[in-house]
Amino acid sequence: MSRRPDPLAQVSDFDIRLLKIYRSVVECGGFSAAENVLGIGRSAISQQMSDLEQRLGLRLCQRGRAGFSLTEEGREVYQSALQLLSALESFRTEVNGLHQHLRGELNIGLTDNLVTLPHMRITHALAQLKDRGPDVRIQIRMIAPSQVEQGVLDGSLHVGVVPQTSPLSGLEYQPLYSERSLLYCAVGHPLFYADDRQLDDERLNSQDAIAPTFRLPADVQAHYQALNCTASASDREGMAFLILTGRYIGYLPDHYASFWVQQGRLRALKPNQRFYDLSLCWVTRKGRRPHLVLESFLESLAATR
């Protein structure tokens, strides 16, 4: 003898909605009284109740001239619905609570020397993350942009910050900062005390200069191609080391160079002409698994503008 299938082998979102309507009907004492509470007409409520009865395979209530009343099965379904809907609400509350008490770790890969940016969006977002999740463990790696992107791709990093260039497949990029880089030389360089008006392109482009080895947009690369690049560096700190020798010129972000400028150790060469603006963005992996700590950090990052 074949076993009759259960009317509700699975509880769908549609079933949950019908049970919520049923709860309101019971608590209001009938279809007419529930109209204002539910914001739908009596005929629509009647249809929804018929759908629920059909789904459950039970007669839940009597309606007609004699008025509204629950069947015995209807009373039991009402009690079970209260338990189910209460459990769902408890689940929602507990999950929301996880957002307020975050646990786990966040692994971030950063292009070097962003901390001197006046916006400090990353700093503020990390502070908010720590406030929301005192037990969250934060690990920051200062590495080259290509390593940041590779780390996000292979999952060793949750998020990274890199210069915005041609996007890599499998990664999502969102704008974060824009920074300006100027062409600098240091004390001891022949151009340090030169008058900008006497610095023509030929003289500038003949100086020993530094090129970065990390990826940059084509319009930015053009600024380096115009120079006589006889040295290279994998990051901005390496470029600063070489510029500060007084033997090379090179581009540095103005916020990063300002410390040495104020000390009188660096000067910008023709700053109104020799500069470029670079967009920086945060990068995450496409199709990543849900990660509450990461999502909380990204939410704070997007809010700190």
Handedness of CA 234, 236, 239, 241 (dihedral sign): negative
pLDDT above 50: residue 65: yes
Dihedral angle over CA of 292, 294, 299, 302, nearest 10? -170
pLDDT above 60: residue 5: no
pLDDT above 60: residue 3: no
Architecture of domain 101-304: 3-Layer(aba) Sandwich (3.40)
Domains of the chain, residue spans:
13-78, 101-304
Q: What is the pLDDT of residues 223-242, one digit of tens each?
A: 999 999 999 998 888 999 99
pLDDT above 50: residue 206: yes
Same fold flag, 13-78 and 101-304: no
Q: What is the pLDDT of residues 156-190, one digit of tens each?
A: 889 998 888 888 889 999 988 888 999 999 999 99
- Per-residue pLDDT band at 305 (split at 50, 70, 90): low
The pLDDT mean for the chain works out to 86
- Give residue for tokens 């940041």: 148
CA atoms within 13 A on the CB side of 195: 2
Q: What is the pLDDT of residue 207?
A: 96
DSSP state of 96: H
DSSP state of 150: H
**pLDDT top residue among 275 and 136:** 275
pTM beyond 0.95: the answer is: no
DSSP characters over 210-273: EEE-S---HHHHHHHHTSEEEEEESSHHHHHHHHTTTS-BEEEEHHHHHHHHHTTSEEESSTTT
Count of CB atoms situated within 10 Å of the CB of 150: 17
Residue ranges in the chain assigned as alpha helix (H): 13-28, 31-38, 42-56, 72-100, 121-132, 145-154, 201-205, 218-225, 236-243, 254-262, 292-303
Q: What is the pLDDT of residue 241?
A: 95
Q: State how far the Cα of 282 lies from the Cα of 280, in Å rounded to an integer.
A: 7
CATH code 1.10.3720.10 for 13-78:
no
For 49, residues 6+ apart whose C-beta sits below 8 A from its C-beta are 18, 21, 22, 25, 31, 60, 61
Q: State how far the Cα of 238 lies from the Cα of 255, in Å rounded to an integer.
A: 16
Q: State how far the Cα of 23 lies from the Cα of 250, in Å rounded to an integer.
A: 72
For 122, residues 6+ apart whose C-beta sits below 8 A from its C-beta are 110, 114, 161, 176, 301
pLDDT above 70: residue 115: no
Q: State how far the Cα of 164 lies from the Cα of 176, in Å rounded to an integer.
A: 10
- Per-residue pLDDT band at 93 (split at 50, 70, 90): low
